[in-house]
Structure 1
Amino acid sequence: MKKILILLLWPVCLAHAQQITPLSVEKIMRGQKWVGVSPSNYRWSEDSKTLFFNWNPESKDKDELYRVSTANLKPQKSDETAMEKTLSPGYTYSNDASMALAEKGGDIYLYALKSGKEQRLTYTIDRESNAKFLTNGNIAYRQGDNLFSLNLKTSETEQLTHFVKGKKPGKAERAKSLDQNAWLKNDQEQLFDIIKKRNKQHTERRDKPGQDEKVIKPIYTEDKFLAGLELSPDGKYVSYKLMIPSAGGQGTIVPNYVTSSGYTEDMNTRAKVGEPSSLSENYIYDRSRDTVYKINTGQIQGIKDLPDYVKDYPKQLEERQKKNEDRNVNLSSPNWNRSGTMAFIVAESRDNKDLWILKLDATTGNLSLIDRQRDEAWIGGPGIGALNMGWINDDQIYYQSEVSGYSHLYTANVNNGQKKQLTSGKWEVQELQLSKDKKTFYITANKEHPGITHFYKLNVNGGELQQVTTMKGGNLVTLSPDEQWIAVSYSYMNQPWELYVQQNKPGAKAVKVTSSTTAEFNSYKWRTPDLVFFKNRHGADVYARVYPAANPHPNHPAVVFVHGAGYLQNVHYWWSQYSREYMFNNMLADNGYTVIDIDYTASSGYGRDHRTGIYRHMGGKDLTDQVDGVKMLVEKYGVDPKHVGLYGGSYGGFITLMALFTEQEVFKSGAALRSVTDWAHYNHGYTSNILNEPSADSLAYKKSSPIYFADGLKGNLLMCHGMIDVNVHFQDIVRLSQRLIELKKDNWELAVYPVEDHGFLEPSSWTDEYKRIFKLFETTLKK
């Protein structure tokens, strides 16, 4: 009887041993494996019958390869060989889809799809790449810096271009070289009878009809770098780009102190915003005329238009108006229609204010306007840009634009300029794919709610969206090659990502394939936060997630979590990429805090006005949204306004600094992690969009950088930073620390992490950091 009782009690004891309540920082920050490793890296077999993915349900040292068949949907371990035999190597198809090209090991292979026959076309030391079919049935490919074509009927290979590095020799150099060569050639004939004989035979062969020696005009690249080398489908035109190295520019040294050598090792990292960057020139080589000419950007509509912000600098405005110069632009490679009769190019101004879609006249290099997108803040938004455009047929292209205030899908007839909007509403087309038969668009959008994504079908001529996925939350879809199946990576607010498979049609059932979370993780009742919205002081809707306190502390304290990345969304119905912070917020709620997580102005998912609301003033609307969120907590959740703190990393760390420096009456304490302290020291690609360049718009940088407001610090500040951070450099936090010292502030501390980059890796570092954050709130908001 005793043995039976022990056996009956054993499952109860085991379950109790696996429980993680109460939550602690040490338990939360142990790493991903205690939560469970979600499946990832989905790829379909060429026949669309098998889905391969990486997974680690047994918590091994690394993920393993799994596969699931559409026939039974039961995951099984697989091996790389099985996957390689069934996956497509990245085919490029002929127009009739009877043949395909692929690159393997730097060589080009031809596949007859009906028979399955494989033919190797090249076998060289050099790498051949970018193989494609031409309209005449030949194949073109790139080898090194040149293009070649292969006639499949005759097996004849022809070199199409002759790019030469360096400068074209001058007349004097050529004359000297010719004289020297002529002398050597004559001397050889005088010395050797065999040379005289062979030269005579060569002359006779050359003079025969049809035996002229082919000469390809050399194109000299000088001191520039060749890029974007493309051939038109008819083989007539070669487009290419010459990159001009930047004059000057300086990277930032990041010292690495904890090294295997025992010596400090310097890492040379990115330059700062405003540093000179490389320029480019775009050319067309007309093979039939053996002529090279530059693509004419001077014809672009509005190429001389100045941005509005220059009006704040009268002297600069006067100088630029006087010069009346064309703005610098970046051009995409020509995007040709299938028959090779037309091409469009996308131009983006270097000041980030304009994007043009332009029809290319390849015979002249002239450009004519198809569509212009102008934004006095900056061009952006989901799907905006050359990578998300293409041809529906030989006359019609598709693209996305924010002209309506939200990123939506449009088509344009390149011949007559007629445009059509296919989607509309206060929601965004976030991902877009055209079907192989070019009759259907597959769209991922947040049409139902800003925090819910679904997969839709839409006819290329427009009409009603057909919703394919149905589960409320996040639905990330990988489409099978035959477009009959979808792999859905799905999650909910309190449920990490899992794999589902369903047929690609409305009403089909999504079948769950994986279960990844551990028993220990499942033993805690993870919260489903209240997903709410409030009106900010500017009248806009701002969405937030609220974690109400389980048993509020007598002080009724609150903590604001500020997500990072600037243009990122964290208020949604799917599992957060901030999983550690989500769990930490649960722990705070367990300990009497009410926690709020806000999609502040400039977060993604809400359209153009929300996206650009921080233009020329970071720490403006994005910060006041936090303040307005606290006001909502006071009114609706009973929070005491005297006991509010906040924390966040990267952009969230920046907001935390600005909050403690400029909103001292609202926030009593804060933890700023890996924070930007001075935007003039951040990178160019991100910062120049929002604040322009420091030398041109210094006012924007002065309004937006915490280091200029450090004198306002009153509350308690914790700063944490990795010493080998190559994104937000450790120098940032060192400069702010010196500023605080000089201002005689003593209510701050800095914790440094010698082996950590921007995103921490070591559980010990995560644990130390969040124990400090928790201690900060416990000692400042509860006492």
Structure 2
Amino acid sequence: MKKTLLTLLTNFIIFTLSAQQLSVEQIMQDPKFTVGALPSNIFWAEDSKTVYFSWNPEKNKADSLYGASVAEKKPFKISPQTRRALPANNGNYSADFSKKVYAKNGDLFLLDCRTMAIRQITNTIENESNPSFNGKDDKIIFTKGSNLFSFTISNGEIDQLTNFQTGTKKPESKLSEQEKWQKQDQLSLFDVLKERADKKKEGDKIQKADLPKRAKEIFVEDKSVDAQTLSPDEKYITYRLVKSATGAKTAIVPNYVTESGFTEDIPARTKVGAAQTAYEFWVYDIKKDTSLQVFTKDIDGIFDEPDYLKDYVKKSLVVKRDTVKKKPEPRKVIFSNVVWSEDGKYCVLVVKSQDNKDRWIMRLDPATRKLQTIDRQHDEAWIGGPGIGFGGNVGTLGFLGDNQTLYFQSEVDGYSHLYTINLATSVRKQLTKGKFEVQSVQLSRDKQNFYITTNEVHPGEQHFYRLAVAGGTPTRLTKMVGSNQVVLSPDETKLAYLNSYSNRPWEVYIQDNEANATATQVTKSQSRQFKEYKWREPEIVTFKAEDGQTVYARLYASKTGEKGKKPAVVFVHGAGYLQNVHKWWSQYFREYMFHNMLVDNGYTVLDIDYRASSGYGRDWRTGIYRFMGGKDLSDHVDGAKYLTETQGIDPKKIGIYGGSYGGFITLMAMFTKPDVFAAGAALRPVTDWAAYNHPYTANILNEPQTDSIAYQRSSPIYHAEGLKGNLLICHGMVDVNVHYQDVVRLAQRLIELRKENWELASYPMEDHGFVEPTSWMDEYKRIFKLFETTLKK
């Protein structure tokens, strides 16, 4: 205890004494001390009188649950007993919102939203999950194991609706002709045998008639079952069969520093291009007691081949005359769960091609299992964007109050916007429009309004709006600049949200659900150390890319140094599809503080939302299709040019750094643009995209075995001979995302190329995202040393 207090006191003294001259040790400490314990995970009490959130103002090892009443708006700590008794935040409501059913700790609970009384429905060792109400709201439908069950609220009766069994049904033993003759001969010879056989047959018939009707056995072989859904009229059950790919090799990540003292292997993931999971969609007709598969062969465009294959036509093998031409097969798809209209008339699901170039919103007729296209979104790059959904996720999809108008999001006009389509009349309507994105959608309880979050005001701001379901001008409900991450109260009279600004971390606010309401701050989270320093507000600037597009960037301008001789650093955010040029507190808060430190030391810093960053629409997102390290890198080269032309930066004194995707871009910059960047720090970088995972990489580069051109021009390891400047590589050795093998292979390549101006720093106990403050400190000391020794010569 004394040692802990002494450490905290020492850290505080160090920070305070050098409040206007930051150091790596200060900014890379535990963020609870450098920034403050920031609130998160806001949710409302069911009576709309209290807001709950995770917070840690005492700076304990873990966050605690706090609350704030709407009346007082002052935070108070929730006791463990009260926290355990709270209903789960998620769950499903009855049509009139008078009841809520939810799963908690593997059991089911029913909440009366008027009296707040909680009824526990199950108390079992096996988990029950996915509870919802049936069409009449008199039963609760849930899953246990792989099967679907119903619970009758009035009498507590539980019925099993499905009986899925692994394996295959054992065939009934069949007698040969000789065995049949022998049996018949025996029965004709011996009266006792015949009497006993007849008696047994009659007994079996009576016993079978006395047994209650059970759910039919459905054998699913070696597949698993999910997405089980009962139709509102309780006539059909839809479900999905999932078959995991077999034979795909899984990478292993060795862990060297272990409690046992032995090297232990961590199972990781497969690599892009490996065999993928297969999906089937089925309908069980309860009355007919039949289960039949839904097929995709009649879906519009299901046989289409992607355009990139045209680059390989000349390389295709000549088919021999005697070879029978194979019948084309429909592309493999992923099915989502179904969405039913409340009256049960319409059943809708999303079907996505596994190459992610098509998303179909389909109407399903469960009686005939026929699919009818409601909306097809096709993209020769890949389908994506806010509200579109990923994999088997439906994204934004639901019915309005008339039970025939469907709402959804699409990027068809270049930006993710909100649409409706009347399934009875086929009338389609676009509700939002413009060069901005709708980033979240929620339908009001009375189904008269949408609550949406957009970046219409500015690409770097997020605001909350109310929009009539018929369309029109949205009403803006949040006014504070930055990001507003809003949670609407159950009675829809209040907003609780997290707000932050570029140099001000997240805090909790409460306000009325009105356009001109005043927001009241609930939490105060900044640490004393954080307040001691005057953190810069980065200027958001724009510049033109080489293709004429407008690029947004954060500029941390240094006021010191001789014009034309000043050094600069370009930061590259990670993830590719992520936004960091915005007016809210960055998830890269360590880097933000490091940038302040760099400015203190005479550097100008530029942080760019390069091509493929989120928040700027479809064309920006897909600008890297088949060439990562193309436009995304040229945007950084144009950023360097902007620095030299407008900020007085010496073109020979520009460095670049970033982690993950940012590390990849740093390598491509150092290898392919060596005359632009004098030094680079590549942190946990992808060095060969053929070694990364399938879901992310295959969207952008297709598969290595079918599009080798895209992989070779996009992977740094193929361009390492171009290195001229000084390169630092840092990587965690137990990284299960971008494997340490990536940099080991690159190191061998650099050795064989006889490159000498590079170094590799390895972190034996760190995964992709570093955890230990000492690792952060070591890494950023090396980065700072690299820039000090190369950019200030």
Taking structure 2 as the reference length, what is the TM-score of the superposition?
0.91
Matches within 5 A, 1:158-197: 158-172=159-173
Distance 1:439 1:510 in 2: 25
Contact 2:42 2:497 in 1 (8 A): no
Distance 1:323 1:710, change over 3 A: farther
Deviation at 1:173, TM superposition (A): 6.7
Aligned residue in 2 for 1:265: 264
Distance 2:15 2:353 in 1: 62
1:30 aligned to 2:44?
Answer: no
Aligned residue in 2 for 1:7: none
**Deviating more after overlay: 281-290 vs 166-175:** 166-175
1:635 aligned to 2:645?
Answer: yes
Cα deviation code 1:715-767 (max 9, x no counterpart)? 11111111111111000000000000000110111111111111111111111
1:659 aligned to 2:669?
Answer: yes
Distance 1:413 1:479 in 2: 27
Deviation at 1:323, TM superposition (A): 4.4
Deviation at 1:144, TM superposition (A): 2.5
**Deviating more after overlay: 410-419 vs 54-63:** 54-63
Cα deviation code 1:464-491 (max 9, x no counterpart)? 1111110111111122111111112111
Distance 2:634 2:175 in 1: 69
Aligned residue in 2 for 1:576: 586
Select the residue among 496, 507, 510 that pairs with 2:516.
507
Select the residue among 766, 770, 774 that pairs with 1:756.
766
Distance 1:672 1:295 in 2: 48
Select the residue among 467, 476, 480 that pairs with 2:485.
476
Q: Which amino acid aligns with 1:161?
A: T
**Deviating more after overlay: 109-118 vs 197-206:** 197-206
Cα deviation code 1:576-617 (max 9, x no counterpart)? 111111111111111111110010111111111110000000
Aligned residue in 2 for 1:399: 408
Matches within 5 A, 1:316-327: 323-327=327-331
Aligned residue in 1 for 2:300: 301
Aligned residue in 2 for 1:47: 47
Deviation at 1:377, TM superposition (A): 0.5
SS at match of 1:532: strand
1:435 aligned to 2:426?
Answer: no
SS at match of 1:334: strand
Select the residue among 382, 388, 397 that pairs with 1:389.
397
Deviation at 1:454, TM superposition (A): 0.6
Distance 2:658 2:120 in 1: 55
Distance 1:549 1:484, change over 3 A: same
Distance 1:118 1:174 in 2: 59
Q: Which amino acid aligns with 1:661?
A: F
Distance 1:636 1:361 in 2: 62
1:417 aligned to 2:426?
Answer: yes
User: How many residues are treated as equivalent by the alignment?
Assistant: 757
Distance 1:304 1:200, change over 3 A: closer
Deviation at 1:143, TM superposition (A): 2.9
Distance 1:569 1:206 in 2: 65
Cα deviation code 1:49-92 (max 9, x no counterpart)? 11121222232333232211110111122213224445456443
Deviation at 1:104, TM superposition (A): 4.4
Cα deviation code 1:309-348 (max 9, x no counterpart)? 1110105778999643211111112211112121111000
Deviation at 1:118, TM superposition (A): 4.8
Q: Which amino acid aligns with 1:283?
A: W
SS at match of 2:641: helix
1:715 aligned to 2:722?
Answer: no
Aligned residue in 1 for 2:343: 339
Distance 1:204 1:631 in 2: 89
SS at match of 1:387: coil
Distance 1:112 1:24 in 2: 55
Distance 2:705 2:41 in 1: 43
Cα deviation code 1:543-571 (max 9, x no counterpart)? 01111113126731111011111001111
Select the residue among 619, 625, 635 that pairs with 2:629.
619
Aligned residue in 2 for 1:77: 77
Q: Which amino acid aligns with 2:259?
A: S
Distance 1:111 1:673, change over 3 A: closer
Contact 1:661 1:706 in 2 (8 A): yes
Distance 2:436 2:773 in 1: 38
Select the residue among 589, 593, 614 that pairs with 2:599.
589
**Deviating more after overlay: 108-117 vs 368-377:** 108-117
Contact 1:553 1:782 in 2 (8 A): no
Deviation at 1:44, TM superposition (A): 1.1
Distance 1:526 1:90, change over 3 A: closer
Contact 1:550 1:590 in 2 (8 A): no
Aligned residue in 1 for 2:134: 134
Aligned residue in 2 for 1:290: 289
Select the residue among 769, 778, 783 that pairs with 2:788.
778
Q: Which amino acid aligns with 2:41?
A: N
Aligned residue in 1 for 2:313: 314
Deviation at 1:768, TM superposition (A): 0.8
SS at match of 2:349: strand
Distance 1:293 1:24, change over 3 A: same
Matches within 5 A, 1:221-240: 221-240=220-239
SS at match of 1:654: helix
Aligned residue in 2 for 1:144: 145
Distance 1:15 1:661 in 2: 40
Contact 1:552 1:594 in 2 (8 A): no
Aligned residue in 1 for 2:740: 730
Deviation at 1:135, TM superposition (A): 2.9
Distance 2:711 2:304 in 1: 23
Distance 1:722 1:337 in 2: 49
SS at match of 2:755: coil
Distance 1:44 1:322, change over 3 A: same
Distance 1:541 1:54, change over 3 A: same
Deviation at 1:213, TM superposition (A): 4.8
Distance 1:212 1:726 in 2: 53
Distance 1:202 1:295 in 2: 37
1:545 aligned to 2:541?
Answer: no
Aligned residue in 2 for 1:486: 495
Aligned residue in 2 for 1:747: 757
Contact 1:678 1:705 in 2 (8 A): yes
SS at match of 1:515: coil
Contact 1:721 1:753 in 2 (8 A): yes
Deviation at 1:223, TM superposition (A): 1.5
Distance 1:242 1:204 in 2: 36
Distance 1:154 1:82 in 2: 29
Aligned residue in 2 for 1:525: 534
Q: Which amino acid aligns with 1:389?
A: L
Aligned residue in 2 for 1:378: 382
Distance 1:628 1:36 in 2: 36
SS at match of 1:313: helix
Contact 1:497 1:575 in 2 (8 A): yes
Contact 1:644 1:781 in 2 (8 A): yes
Taking structure 1 as the reference length, what is the TM-score of the superposition?
0.92
Contact 1:452 1:474 in 2 (8 A): yes
Distance 2:332 2:202 in 1: 55
Distance 1:451 1:174, change over 3 A: farther
Distance 1:135 1:770, change over 3 A: closer
Q: Which amino acid aligns with 1:391?
A: F
Distance 2:315 2:226 in 1: 34
Select the residue among 365, 372, 381 that pairs with 2:369.
365
